[in-house]
C-alpha cells in the first residue's frame, strides 16, 4: 500500500468535500488495507471527528464509526448487551494488536467476506448511518454499490432478546473458515452465514422455516440443512466449498439451539 497524501480533516463537512476528490479514500483504522496492493492518492483519517464512542439510550445502542474492535471487545455496555455477541465476535478477530487499530466503521465499509463482525451485526439487524445517505439497514448497505460516503455510526435496537455467534478457525489468529450467528430480534429469528468465503448472507429460507414451527432439536438441525442448501459456498486456501457446506449445518444448528433455549 502506498499513500501519496495523508489528510486529517477537522469537520465532517471537510472530510466529505475531500472524499469527493479523485483518488480520495477513508482509511478508518487502516488495519486491513494492507491486504490489497493499493495506490492511494489521498488518505482521509477521521480521528479528529469525535466518532469514537459507545452510547446507550432507552431504545438503541449506538457505536461511533471510529470505535476500535478492542473497544467492542472490552466495553461494559457492549459486553452486557445482545448476549455479548459483539464482544465475542470482536474478540475472535486476529490478535490484540489488530483489534487496537481496526474500527467498526472500517470493517463495515470494507464489506469484507472474511469479517466475523459483519455476521454478528447483520444477525442483530443493525443499522448504519452515513453522512450523505443517512440511516439504512446494514443489509441494504452491504448490497449497495456506494463508495463515496462516510459511515458515522452503527445503531442497534435493544429489541434483541437473545443472540449467539460461532466461528471455526484452523488457528486462532487466522480468518474464519466459516462463521455463523443467530439472534431473536423483536420476536423474529435471524440467521447469518459469513466467511463462505464471500460476504455474509441471511439464511432466509431457514429463518422462515423456524419462525413458523416449534423450537426443537430436530428443527434446529433442519435449519442447518436448509441454510447449507440455500447459501452458496466457495473454495480457497482455508477450506473447500464442500467442507464449508458441511460445517454450515453444524454451526447454524448450534447457534439456533443457543438462541431458542
157-189 pLDDT, tens digit each: 999 999 999 999 998 888 999 999 999 999 999
Of 168, 99, 181, 175, nearest in space to 138 by CA: 181
Does the pLDDT at position 70 exceed 90? Answer: yes
pLDDT at 176: 95
pLDDT at 212: 58
Cell for 142?
A: 452491504
Map out the domains of the chain with their CATH numbers.
2-44 (no CATH), 162-261 (3.30.390.50)
Q: Whole-model pTM above 0.75?
A: yes
Is the separation of the CB atoms in 78 and 86 below 8 Å? Answer: yes
Categorize the per-residue pLDDT at 97 as very low, low, confident or very high, splitting at 50, 70 and 90: confident
Of 182, 67, 71, nearest in space to 125 by CA: 182
Q: Cα–Cα distance between 125 and 136 in angstroms, integer?
A: 11
pLDDT at 27: 83
Q: Cα–Cα distance between 22 and 154 in angstroms, integer?
A: 27
Q: Cα–Cα distance between 184 and 152 in angstroms, integer?
A: 26
Residue whose C-alpha cell is 464509526: 65
3-state secondary structure of 138: helix
Is the separation of the CB atoms in 101 and 71 below 8 Å? Answer: no
Mean per-residue pLDDT over the chain, rounded: 91
Amino acid at each position: 500500500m502506498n499513500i501519496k497524501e495523508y489528510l486529517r480533516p477537522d469537520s465532517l463537512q471537510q472530510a466529505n468535500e475531500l472524499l469527493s476528490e479523485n483518488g480520495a479514500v477513508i482509511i478508518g483504522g487502516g488495519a486491513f488495507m494492507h491486504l490489497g496492493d493499493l495506490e492511494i492518492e489521498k488518505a482521509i483519517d477521521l480521528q479528529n471527528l469525535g466518532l469514537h464512542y459507545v452510547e446507550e439510550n432507552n431504545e438503541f445502542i449506538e457505536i461511533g464509526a471510529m470505535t476500535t474492535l478492542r473497544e467492542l471487545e472490552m466495553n461494559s455496555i457492549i459486553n452486557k448487551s445482545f448476549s455479548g455477541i459483539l464482544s465475542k465476535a470482536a474478540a475472535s478477530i486476529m490478535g490484540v494488536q489488530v483489534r487496537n487499530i481496526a474500527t467498526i466503521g472500517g470493517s463495515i465499509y470494507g464489506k469484507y467476506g472474511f469479517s466475523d463482525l459483519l455476521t454478528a451485526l447483520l444477525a442483530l439487524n443493525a443499522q448504519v448511518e452515513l453522512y450523505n445517505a443517512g440511516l439504512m439497514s446494514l443489509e441494504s448497505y452491504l448490497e449497495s454499490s456506494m463508495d463515496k460516503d462516510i459511515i458515522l455510526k452503527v445503531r442497534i435496537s435493544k429489541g434483541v432478546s437473545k443472540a449467539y455467534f460461532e466461528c471455526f478457525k484452523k488457528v486462532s489468529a487466522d480468518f474464519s473458515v466459516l462463521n455463523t450467528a443467530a439472534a431473536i430480534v423483536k420476536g423474529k429469528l435471524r440467521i447469518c452465514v459469513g466467511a463462505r468465503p464471500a460476504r455474509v448472507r441471511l439464511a432466509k429460507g431457514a429463518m422462515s422455516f423456524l419462525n413458523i414451527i416449534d423450537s426443537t432439536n430436530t428443527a434446529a438441525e433442519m435449519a442447518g440443512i436448509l441454510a447449507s442448501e440455500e447459501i452458496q459456498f466457495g473454495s480457497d486456501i482455508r477450506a473447500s466449498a464442500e467442507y464449508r457446506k458441511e460445517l454450515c449445518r453444524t454451526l447454524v444448528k448450534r447457534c439456533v439451539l443457543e438462541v431458542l433455549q
